Structure 1
């Protein structure tokens, strides 16, 4: 496999990870574009169309877990030694403040037609229960805390034991919520069951440890992918078929990335995407741009989808693409202009400043400090 790493501000920029972030971002937006289409075309779709949308939606479920994996990989690769003194404060500033801002924005927009008290309750639920699209920020910040407290131990522990143990914990945790029905005598148990299934870190633990060891031993990781390239290339197909079988037979009926089978599917997709993109010599500017804006796109895209309505000239497929593309473009426009304000990055997230020249090995420029 060809090396696609170039240096920037004493850190390498890894083009395949730029692609991975780009693809993960598009996958998340596509899931929500399909959901928006299904909401607007309820009762109008044929069985085949419904099955098609469900299949594509399930195929995109690797998106959010990939962000968890990627965030830890970048940390482990960037900080091989001690962590800087401002490690947590920097991440709190650039992650938690946009999270709080979006909690208010989502609460106001999605409950604008309700009472002031309902809006206030919605905002509180968004903040403390992550009851909105931006929930993944709290998950990632939990892993920043884990990295802060465990990185010195993870360096010395047997990685195979850590990976297997974390996988078992992750599978058991999700299996409990996938297969055990809610306890009926607990008040609001459905709401509680749903949030407990994905907000606490055990539901994502394997992505954290996998990201840590892949980042810490990145060259070795890529060599392993190259050694088993045929397996890496073909294994996602049967794994995804298993996901569909479990879904269509209702053995695991929930449509979510918080399913035990999605752990295996996401892992195979991450390996495949990194393997395929490692041979890419030059990235298109659109890939780099969307990757740079991915955090803000994740924060904002669902807001624009909320306002987009079907048009007579579009069928459900056209509407899905319209929602997908428009929400990305509008998100990027808002991110760009809000970031012109001194405090804008604390509202809609900071824009990564990796340029196309950096990734393609030309003149280097300064990169944003957060990974």
Structure 2
């Protein structure tokens, strides 16, 4: 395992986590205020700019993994991730189905159907299933990837990912009339559409020093690429060509990679992450899992309050961050809490001193 820590990872986790929370806070505003017209378009435009959040977690997970395990996967690699990532995913999938069962007075059949959808990734935690596919793929790639030229692998994976989403959205599926379990799985969960993210992060993690040198040398080009790719996403969205507000979009691939590079470069210039923000990083998985629940609960208290949309957006954003952190803190005090919300640092003096060091176990 590499001894050199990537301190930038804390910032990237914080940015990705807060972007996802803010994306869903916007969705709450659109739903609870019934926003229409130009104002709705403005909110959707803002959301499109934040959709890098979920695929960035794929990039973060892979770059940490490949940086730490360049040549060999340690014993217990998958066991740890099943215990502290996949099991909490299943627990939360069941929790959200149970919450709807209670709130909507559903039948057992309704609950079972919703649970089935959740378990195959048809809820906001779907990225866990994507990452787990790459954990398995990594066991093969770590042996064979170094035999091929990076440019060739990057080019092929880019064509595969972009081609997959284009084919799926425009030729293979009618999303209005088809919503079977299998259709929904292939539309978002199968690793093929996310392959380019994995390959990019694979080479960045294995060649961390060269990667950081590349960022420093080409930061202006990366900035231009970020702006250009963001404009491409907005152009395609507002043209009506592809109006699905989802991270599983072909045009989001270059935008996410460029903005990941840009944020990584900026984070490399910051020597120290404030401890309060580090807590967001180490709690990021639990925040990701719990923030929609917190925002739903918050909406019940402010449903009739006389506040503006922008005030409501801020409240929902803060609730999506603070409430999950409080819940995570209390759940983590219990012996089996890690199987509900993932692994978090034990609050001791020793851990407090180590909060600034990214751990490989924090795969998301």
The normalised TM-score by structure 2 is 0.91
Q: How far off is 1:30 after superposition?
A: 0.8
Taking the aligned partners of 1:13 and 1:187, their CA distance within structure 2 comes to 48
User: For residue 163 of structure 2, what is the aligned residue in structure 1?
Assistant: 172
Displacement of 1:144 in angstroms is 0.4
**2:19–2:53 contact (8 Å) kept in structure 1:** yes
In the other structure, the counterpart of 1:334 is 327
Equivalent in 177, 195, 201 of residue 211 of structure 1: 201
Residue of structure 2 aligned with 1:290, choices 280, 284, 302: 280
Deviation at 1:223, TM superposition (A): 0.7
Q: Following superposition of structure 1 onto structure 2, how do residues 60-209 of structure 1 map, counting pairs within 5 Å?
A: 60-112=50-102, 113-127=105-119, 129-180=120-171, 182=173, 188-189=178-179, 192-209=182-199
Residue 305 (structure 2) pairs with residue 312 (structure 1)? yes
Segments of 4+ moved more than 6 angstroms: 353-356
1:247 is aligned to 237
Paired residue for 2:341? 348
Match of 1:14 in 2: 6
2:318 aligned residue: 325
Q: Distance in 1 between matches of 2:138 and 2:54?
A: 19
Count of equivalent residues? 355
Give me the whole-angstrom Cα distance separating, in 1, the residues matched to 2:360 and 2:247: 29
Local SS of the residue matching 1:83: coil
Matched, 1:34 2:23: no
Following superposition, the deviation at residue 31 of structure 1 comes to: 0.8
Cα displacement (A) at 1:253: 1.5
CA distance in 2, matches of 1:352, 1:236: 34
Listed one character per residue, the Cα deviations across residues 296-344 of structure 1 (whole Å, up to 9, x for unaligned) are 1011111111222235232111111101101211100111111111110
For structure 2, list consecutive stretches of 5 or more residues without a partner in the other structure. none
1:177–1:193 contact (8 Å) kept in structure 2: no
User: Relative to structure 1, is the Cα distance of residues 367 and 252 closer, same or farther in structure 2, using a 3 angstrom cutoff?
Assistant: closer
For 1:52, which of 42, 49, 52 is the aligned residue?
A: 42
3-state SS of paired residue (1:29):
helix
- 1:65 is displaced (CA, Å) by 0.5
Equivalent residues in 2 for 1:223-234 (5 A)?
A: 223-234=213-224
- Equivalent positions of 1:266-277 (< 5 A) are 266-277=256-267
Question: Taking structure 1 as reference, are residues 368 and 87 closer, same or farther at Cα in structure 2, changes over 3 Å only?
Answer: closer
SS state at 2:5 partner: strand
Question: Do the aligned residues in 2 keep the contact of 1:352 with 1:368 (CA within 8 Å)?
Answer: no
Is the 8 Å Cα contact of residues 70 and 142 (structure 2) preserved in structure 1? Answer: no
Over the aligned positions, Cα root-mean-square deviation in angstroms equals: 2.3
- Give the SS at the match of 2:126: helix
Question: Secondary structure at 1:346's aligned position in 2?
Answer: helix
Q: Distance in 1 between matches of 2:39 and 2:62?
A: 37
Name the CA shift for 1:222/1:33 in 2 (closer, same or farther; >3 Å).
same
**Greater CA drift, 299-308 or 162-171:** 299-308
